[in-house]
Chains A and B, each alone.
Chain A
Amino acid sequence: MSDDVMAEIHRDYLFNLVLKGERDDGRAFDEFRDISIETGVAGMAEGSALVTLGDTQILVGIKIQPGEPFPDTPDVGVIITNAELIPMASPEYEAGPPREGAIEIARVVDRGIRESKAIDLEKLCMIEGEKVWIIFIDIHVLNNGGNIIDAASIGSIAALLNTTLPAERYGLGEDSPLPVRDIPIAITAIEFGGELILDPSLEEGKLAGTVYTVITNSDNGISGMQKSGVEPLTIDQVMRVVDMAGTAAAKIREKFLEV
């Protein structure tokens, strides 16, 4: 209940901080919270990653099984991305089928992975028009501490990099690593008080007039974007976020070398 209405004096306080160039947790506007990535945490999954981004905790699990390709793309594998904002993760989430918030998260993450061609889907075709590998990316939010999209994107690609094609289980040859050839990373900014702020905390996210996500690849190319929220952005603001996103994503990508 207390999450519905933010006290006016608190909103003012946060607004005034931004005007001074500061944030409540002391970060710079383009600074991310601490990120940790742990892979292989869900042993029944073909690949998995637990990502913590500040207070946000997200577990992504990958399941893979053989199935039929889509009729319009008979010679490539299938990616199905699903996000669950389970009621455990926040007092504001309710049980039930995914609503627009969860669907948007899943689709933005999916877009980044699909459009970056991070997974070599052609290699996932076994018999054209009949049998391909279907990859399920399940995003399980455990604790919503803000900026779920970026954490989900980091978790998804981390889990995919950690994924094995379970061919033996289905009598389809030997297990092999999933062919992943890029690391798309989503970076989200909010606009608040005329400023652009990366990696919004839960509270900052609530203040945001607009939320803008840019997904970049290893070559700094852009493979996906999403603007959400009612406030408009200027071209200048959009380009600033693109630049900030490229830099921030490159830094996060370095983390993957450590895993």
Chain B
Amino acid sequence: MERNIAIPGDVVSDNIKMSGSGTYVHGDTVRASVYGLLNVGERYISVIPLAGKYIPCASDRVIGIITEVVYSNWIVDINSPYEGLLHISQYPRRIDSENMSKYLKVGDCILTMVASVDAGMKVELTLREKELRVLSNGRIVTINPTKMPRVIGRNGSMIRLLKSEIGCNMFVGQNGRIWINGSDDCIDLAIQTVKYIEDNAHTPGLTERVQAFLKAKEKTRYGKVHESRNDEE
């Protein structure tokens, strides 16, 4: 069964007004430009790719790693072909350019936002927004950015499910990096679940599958707790 897989060049519609993301117009047809899942909406037909790089867009929230400190800028790896620049003025408070490494050094993680992207793909970041900050604990898991929408779910339903079922704090960056904080067990489970979503991103009924996955995990988790209690006795 084809399960609505589209392959580059496939004709997906003959109404060129329907051309959405992952498609292009050729003559009077709409064709797939990427290999992925066909998504037929009311107004647009799109193809959701199952692989690909994160290409930054203004106002995207992303998780970055400082790779270099240069004069009045931090260079930030945002898991993209394009590096991010965080200007000293975009740090939440005024700091001296002599002391930049004291506030953010190579290897530090930040929860940041893309402030602007120009035509030459110069990506400027900011930390001067609500929620944005330096991440000093927790863990980061990276998945393919094209699968991020499945981790978030429709109107954030999947991420809410994960947070409440697992009981951990999570932040999903648009660039494929997810920050997770909580107890070690919670983090481990959250990472397993995120990987499960990534592996099954192309399948239908994902929310139910994830619920079942978590339920199965919960059993083994409580089983473990039980065992360890027995050990103590």
Contacts and interface: CB of A to CB of B under 8 A. Distances in A.
A5 B139 contact: no
B109 A9 contact: yes
What's the dominant secondary structure at chain A's contact region? Answer: loop
Contacts of B79: 2
A7 B136 CA distance: 10
B80 to A, nearest CB: 8
A8 interface: yes
B140 A9 contact: yes
Interface string B12-37: 00000000000000000000000000
Most buried by B among A6, A10, A11: A10
Interface in B64-122: 65-67, 77, 79, 81, 83, 105-109
A41 B77 CA distance: 39
B139 A4 contact: no
Contacts of A10: 139-140
A8 B139 contact: no
A8 B139 CA distance: 10
A44 interface: no
Given A9-B137, A10-B139, A10-B140, A2 B107 contact: no
B135 interface: yes
B106 A7 contact: no
Nearest to B79: A2
B138 interface: yes
Contacts of A9: 109, 135-140
A50 B146 CA distance: 32
Contacts of A11: 107
A8 B81 CA distance: 21
Nearest to A4: B67
A256 interface: no
A1 interface: yes
Nearest to A1: B77
Given A9-B136, A9-B137, A1 B83 contact: yes
Size class of A's contact patch?
A: 10 to 19
A5 B83 contact: no
Nearest to A6: B107
Contacts of A6: 65, 107
Contact of A1 (B67, B105, B138, B139): B67
Contacts of A4: 67, 77
A30 B55 CA distance: 41
B17 to A, nearest CB: 39
A10 B139 CA distance: 6
Contacts of A7: 65, 107-109, 140
A247 B142 CA distance: 36
Interface in B128-184: 135-140, 142
Contacts of B106: 5
B196 to A, nearest CB: 17
A70 interface: no
B109 A5 contact: no
Contact of A5 (B81, B107, B142): B107
A199 B138 CA distance: 27
Interface string A7-25: 1111101000000000000
Nearest to B76: A5
B66 A5 contact: yes
B107 A8 contact: yes
A239 to B, nearest CB: 34
Interface in A39-73: none
24 contacts: A1-B77, A1-B81, A1-B83, A2-B77, A2-B142, A5-B65, A5-B77, A5-B107, A6-B65, A7-B65, A7-B107, A7-B108, A7-B109, A8-B107, A8-B108, A8-B109, A9-B135, A9-B136, A9-B137, A9-B139, A10-B139, A10-B140, A11-B107, A13-B139
Given A1-B81, A9-B109, 11 more contacts: A1-B67, A1-B77, A2-B142, A5-B66, A5-B107, A7-B108, A7-B109, A8-B109, A9-B140, A10-B139, A11-B107
